[in-house]
Amino acid sequence: MHFFSSQSAGGSWQRRMLRGFWGCTALVACFAATAQTWQPAKPIRLIVPYGPGGSSDVIARAMGVEMSKGLGQAVIVDNKAGGQGVIAMQEGARAAPDGYTVVLGHVGTLAVNPAMMPKLPYDVQKDFLPVALLATVPMVFAVGPSAHVDTLPQLIAKAKAEPGKLNYGSAGNGSAGHLAFEMLKLATGTDVTHVPYKGTGAQMTDLLAGNIEAASAGLPGFLSQAKAGKLKILAVGSVKRLHAVPDVPIVAELGYPDFESSQWFGLIVPAKTPAEVIARLHEEALKALASPSVQRRLEEDSSTAAPLGPQEFAAFIASEQKRWGAVVRSAKLTAD
C-alpha cells in the first residue's frame, strides 16, 4: 500500500530535512541580530502532550536543559497527558503569544489528530506557529511475558490464528504507537485489539504485568526494560537497523518492504507570537540540538536530529497530515 512508504511528491522526508537544514541555518543567520533583541525575563514553560517516560519526555527534557543555557532562563517541562494530546494542545493554543509557552509538537497531535478528530477545539494551522522540527524516533514493536512469542512472524501468526483476541497497548488514541501498530495490522492483515493508555509509562506497566501482549512506542520507552530482559523488542519500523538493538530486524526485512514508521517532534508556539521571539527560540533550539549532551542523548535512544526551520517545518507537517490521514482512513480509525 502506498501510504506505508516514506516517499511523497516532494521526495523522502529525509531529503526534505536535509534541504531544510540549510534553509534553517540561513534563517538563523538572517535573524541573528533580530533574535538577540528578545531576551526572556522569566522561565519558559515547555508543554509536553504525554506523560513522563516516553520519547516526548526524553527529548523535551534534554532540549530544555540546553536551551536554558542559551536563553538565560529555565525551560520547565510540563507534562500534560490525556485527551490524546488535546489537553496540552488546547492549553498551548490559549496561552499568551509571548514566547513563555512552547509546546512540543508531535506526529500524533499535529498530523494524526486532525484526521481522527474533525471537531478539535483548535486549528493546528491557524492557532499555532512552527518553530523547529527537532528529531525523529523509530517506532518499535515489543511483547511482554504473556505473548509467548520470540519473533514478529510468530506474533503475526498467533494474531491470525486468534483474530481479535490479542491486545496491544499505546500511549493513547492517535499516538505514534497507535498509528504504527495500525499500520502493521494493515500490512499484515491481522486483527489485534487496541488498548489506549495515558502515556508510555502506564502502557509499560501493563505490558510488563502481562495485562496486554504487545505494544508499540519509540525505542527510548522500551530500551531499558528490553536490556533488563523484561520484554522483547521484535522489530523496528525504521529503514535500517538501529545501533542500540542491532540484532532486532526492521519490519521491511520480514516480508513488508515498504513499511516505515517513525515519530517526530518539534517546537510550536501560539499563533501571533512575534517573529523575533520565534527566531530566537529557533536559534536556541538548533544550538541545543548540536550540543554534545543532546547529541549523546539522541544517539543513546537511536533518535536522529532533524533540524528544520519554521517554513520547512510547516511544509513537513502538511505532508505528514496527508500521509497519516491515509492510514487513518484506511484503518477506519476514530477518536473513540
Q: How many whole angstroms from its chain centre is CA 137? A: 7
Structural domain ending residue among the three candidates 254, 283, 301: 254
130 lies in the same domain as 145: no
Q: What is the pLDDT at residue 223?
A: 87
Q: Which domain holds residue 173?
A: 138-254
Residue 152 lies in a domain: yes
Q: Which residues have a Cβ under 8 Å from the Cβ of 315 and sit 6 or more positions away?
A: 10, 16
Domain assignment present for 114: yes
Structure confidence at residue 3 (pLDDT): 28
Nine-digit cell at 90?
Answer: 488546547
Q: Is position 61 within any domain? A: yes
Total domains present in the chain: 2
**Final residue of a domain: which of 234, 254, 274?**
254
CB contact burial 52-87 (16+ within 10 A = b; e otherwise): bbbbbbbbbbbbbbbbbebbebebebebbbebbbbe
Same domain, 133 and 267: yes
Residue 306 main-chain phi, psi, to 5 deg:
-140, 65
Are 289 and 336 in contact by the 8 Å Cβ rule? The answer is: no
Whether 133 and 144 share a structural domain: no
Residue 14 has pLDDT above 50, yes or no: no
Please indicate, yes or no, if residue 56 is contained in any of the structural domains: yes
Same domain, 6 and 132: yes
90 in the same domain as 228: no
Same domain, 14 and 117: yes
Nearest to 186 by CA among 196, 198, 175, 178: 178
Say if 62 falls within a structural domain.
yes
- Per-residue pLDDT band at 142 (split at 50, 70, 90): very high
> What does the pLDDT average to over 51-68?
89
Distance CA 57, CA 142 (A): 20
Considering the domain architecture, whether residues 98 and 131 belong to the same structural domain is answered as yes
Provide the pairing of β-strand 101-106 with 44-48: parallel
129: left (phi over 0), alpha (psi -120 to 50) or beta: beta
CA–CA distance, 140 with 18 (Å, rounded to integer)? 24
Domain end residue (candidates: 254, 279, 310): 254
Average pLDDT over residues 36-61: 89
Pair (238, 119) in one structural domain:
no
pLDDT at residue 30 is higher than 50: no
Please state the rounded mean pLDDT for residues 63-81.
96
Task: Please check whether residues 120 and 52 belong to one and the same domain.
Answer: yes
Average pLDDT of the residues in 85-90: 94
- Cell digits of residue 9: 511528491
Same domain, 143 and 124: no
3-class SS of residue 269: strand
Report which of 232, 250, 121, 108 is spatially closest to residue 170, judged by C-alpha positions. 108
CA distance 334 to 336: 5
- The CATH number for 179's domain is 3.40.190.10
Mean pLDDT of the region 203-210: 95
Taking the C-alpha atoms of residue 154 and residue 160, their distance in angstroms, rounded to an integer, is: 10
pLDDT confidence tier of residue 23, bands split at 50, 70 and 90? very low
18 or 292, which is more confident?
292
Same domain, 17 and 151: no
3-state secondary structure of 104: strand
Higher pLDDT, 314 or 223: 314
In three-state secondary structure terms, 146 is: coil
User: At 17, is the pLDDT very low, low, confident or very high (cuts 50, 70, 90)?
Assistant: very low
In a domain, 182, yes or no: yes
Read off the CATH number of the domain in which 93 is found. Answer: 3.40.190.150
pLDDT band per the 50, 70, 90 thresholds, residue 26: very low
The answer to whether position 336 is within a domain reads no
Both 152 and 132 in a single domain?
no
Give me the phi and psi of 282, to 5 degrees please.
-65, -45
CA distances from 311 to 57, 133, 254 (A): 25, 10, 37
Q: What is the pLDDT of residues 240-270, one digit of tens each?
A: 899 889 999 999 999 999 898 988 999 999 9
